[in-house]
Amino acid sequence: MKLTILIIGCGDIGVTLGQELLDEGHRVIGVRRQAKALEHTGIEPLALDLSTLEGADASALPQADYVIYTVSADRFEESAYQSAYPDGLKRVLSVMEQHEKPPRRIFFVSSTSVYGQQEGEVVNEASPTESTSFSGNLMCEAEQALLNHPLPGTVVRFSGIYGPGRDRLIHQVAEGRIAAVTPVSYSNRIHRDDCTGILAHLIRCQENGSPLADLYLGSDCEPVTLHNVMAWLAKQLKVESTETMQSPLRRRTSKRCDNRRILETGYTFRYPTYKEGYAQVLKEGGFLELQKA
């Protein structure tokens, strides 16, 4: 059955997801401030600033079977996070609930920044969220806005997203930098294509009659220390590490994400660990050829 899927905040993840859904025969509408970026993607563009939805009626957003809210804050400031996450999502919910035929489910793309664990603890969907950062706390507020709303909703918390164009770590390693061995800092990652794969998979699950949980943790199958990830990249790039990086205390976290709940839905990771994922990024990004040159 052809579905209409509304992707709000249609950036990198939204476009990649949208094209996957288009390939399945669905109609995809992408919302972003500058809709020109959606040209030649096959996604129907809708230029919209979410702040204009305050007090809006149902006509402000098109009717859709599913809504994916994957907005990004435009800067790392509390006001930007407040606007992008809790405020923006609440406005969308207010509009969508007015439709004669409301969405079957709304998905909110959240982040593992909601966790505050720093000692390498294993975290899952039942773990306490005790973030000490404004970003994590505002993500939690947005999550609760969806889960407390009458419309059916599911939160997906993604860990560190990497993939094509998200190669900052590779550049750091290529420059000879590496994370310190101690203090031990666990890193959790997910390839962009698994972010989109999980979202498309959850839509298919609901369409097939499988019950969905309110919350899923989207992270690959191997929590690993940041030092080990960078050491592996250095080996692939054949570079020597000459500078040890220390993460700022305000940003330091260390936890291990347990992805069993998403695996139990039948999802198979395209890139089960950072090794398969970064191998793809290194190859597609031409990094290995650059090293040979």
Residue 247 identity: S
Rounded to whole angstroms, how far apart are CA atoms 155 and 217?
8
Task: Return the structure tokens found at 216.
Answer: 């899923």
Residue pair 95/54 in contact (Cβ under 8 Å)? The answer is no
Distance in Å from the first CA to the final CA of the chain: 50
pLDDT at residue 122 tops 90: yes
pLDDT range class, residue 249, cuts 50, 70, 90: very low
What pLDDT does residue 252 have? 60
Domain that holds residue 94: 4-166+189-223+255-271
pLDDT range class, residue 265, cuts 50, 70, 90: very high
pLDDT range class, residue 190, cuts 50, 70, 90: very high
Residue 278 lies in a domain: no
Average pLDDT of 74-82?
94
211-239 tens-digit pLDDT: 999 999 999 999 999 999 999 999 999 99
What pLDDT does residue 245 have? 81
DSSP labels, 202-220 = HHHHHHTT----SEEEE--
pLDDT range class, residue 293, cuts 50, 70, 90: very low
Residue 234 lies in a domain: no
Residue pair 140/113 in contact (Cβ under 8 Å)? The answer is no
What pLDDT does residue 290 have? 52
Single out the residue of 292, 280, 156 nearest to residue 237, CA to CA. 292
Give the three-class secondary structure for 265: coil
pLDDT at residue 107 tops 80: yes
Residue 105 lies in a domain: yes
What pLDDT does residue 289 have? 62
Residue 137 lies in a domain: yes
> C-alpha angle 26/31/37, rounded to 5°?
95
Q: Name the DSSP letter for residue 83.
A: I
Task: Return the structure tokens found at 163.
Answer: 């993939």
What pLDDT does residue 287 have? 80
**Cβ-Cβ contacts under 8 Å for 35 (sequence gap 6 or more):** 45, 46, 47, 48
Residue 103 lies in a domain: yes
Residue 183 lies in a domain: no
137-150 tens-digit pLDDT: 999 999 999 999 99
Count structural domains, the chain: 1
Residue-averaged pLDDT of the chain: 93
Residue 282 lies in a domain: no
Residue 68 identity: I
What pLDDT does residue 70 have? 97
CATH number at 108 reads 3.40.50.720
Residue 231 lies in a domain: no
Q: What is the pTM of this model?
A: 0.94
